[in-house]
Amino acid sequence: MVPDFPRFVAIDWSGARGKRYAGVAVAECAVGDAPPRIVEPPGGWWSRTAVFDWLLASLERGPALVGIDCAFSLPFVVAGRYFTDPETATVFDLWDRVEAVAGGESDFAGGAFAEHPDYGTDFWRSGLQPDWYRDPHRLAERVCRTDGYGSPQSPYKLIGSKQVGKGALAGMRMLRALRRAAPERVAVWPFEAAAPDRTVFCEIYPRLFLKRAGFGLRKIRDAADVDAALAFLGSRPVGLAGAVTDHDADALVSAAGMRWLAGRPEVWSPPVMDARARRQEGWIFGVGDQTPLPLPPGAGEGS
């Protein structure tokens, strides 16, 4: 079944410790070709708690497809050791474990899990790469690279500006709280079926949508480029002018990109998604549907 959504929400996420974050952005668009819009944060910048509150309140407006730019799980080749029976453990068991360790941190921060003596030894947290570290990846991340969409970092690597592990742990905590607050109205894909009466949360990788629109590896920080990407993804232009933050650009393009992909059955059931992904590791929305990438703008000119 291909779910039918009236709204699409994309969230550029952050796992930083703090109170509010310049790196969090929220964009929303309706079904059809209406341009996405940036949802203005309360107080100038979003906190993760403010995002949670907005998402919870937005459930009253009816179902939506919500994409969050964070890993929803850890590679179970490593995380499986946290459980007596790794084969029967689910992603929700992992979320409970993260919450039990990091639940005392404010604003859904999850860094305490990566610092805990029982789990922190699996994370590369400082210095040069340790001899024991093998850079474990989930299947979705490996397929994302094979498909040509980029190279998502392992959630166990907490080094460098592109590290995603703390954002993943914070996302797990927020998603767990949303499921507990509204269990009849929230589903997290692919672990749960995308029921038509529920808001469905999925993991997104903004670079995938930029690649789909022909923008390669470069960031978009210009309003004209945002509109060019949106046009490729079947959206009318936003009509902004001048500079745009890369966080806003990622959210705007991702919201339209999710809408563009959501009607394709292969996106919901990619052939390469395995049982571990469905139950434990999760999947990146749009990875594995085998659609060829377009050429970057200007490619082939003059030939």
Domain boundaries, the chain: 9-22+68-281
Is the distance from CB of 287 to CB of 141 less than 8 angstroms? no
What is the pLDDT, as a whole number, of residue 300? 37
Regarding beta strands 25-30 and 37-38, do their DSSP bridges make them parallel or antiparallel, or are they unpaired?
antiparallel
User: pLDDT digit string (tens) for 16-66?
Assistant: 888 788 889 999 999 999 999 999 998 889 999 999 999 999 999 999 999
Range from 48-52, 106-110, 124-128, 233-237 carrying the lowest mean pLDDT: 124-128
Helix H or strand E segment including 254 = helix 246-261
pTM over 0.75: yes
Helix H or strand E segment including 52 = helix 48-58
Distance CA 231, CA 36 (A): 12
Q: What's the half-sphere exposure (Cβ side, CA atoms, 13 Å) at 151?
A: 4
The DSSP output letter for 295 is P
Q: Which residues 6+ apart lie within 8 Å of 299 measured at CB?
A: none
Helix H or strand E segment including 7 = strand 7-12
What is the pLDDT, as a whole number, of residue 301? 39
Distance CA 249, CA 229 (A): 10
What is the pLDDT, as a whole number, of residue 296? 44
- The alpha carbon dihedral of 152, 156, 161, 164 has a sign of positive
Rg (CA), the chain: 18
Pick 257 or 217 by higher pLDDT. 257
User: pLDDT digit string (tens) for 245-268?
Assistant: 999 999 999 999 999 999 999 999
What is the pLDDT, as a whole number, of residue 1? 62
Distance CA 28, CA 37 (A): 5
Report the DSSP beta bridge partners of residue 200: 65, 187
* Cβ count within 10 A of residue 29: 23
Distance CA 16, CA 107 (A): 10
How does DSSP assign 167-224, residue by residue? Answer: HHHHHHHHHHHHHHH-TTTEEETTTS---TTSEEEEE--HHHHHHHTT-TTPPP-BHH
User: pLDDT digit string (tens) for 161-205?
Assistant: 788 999 999 999 999 999 999 999 999 999 999 888 899 999 999
- Average pLDDT score, the chain: 92
What phi and psi, each to the nearest 5 degrees, are found at residue 61?
-85, 0
The DSSP output letter for 66 is E
What is the pLDDT, as a whole number, of residue 290? 66
Distance CA 16, CA 146 (A): 29
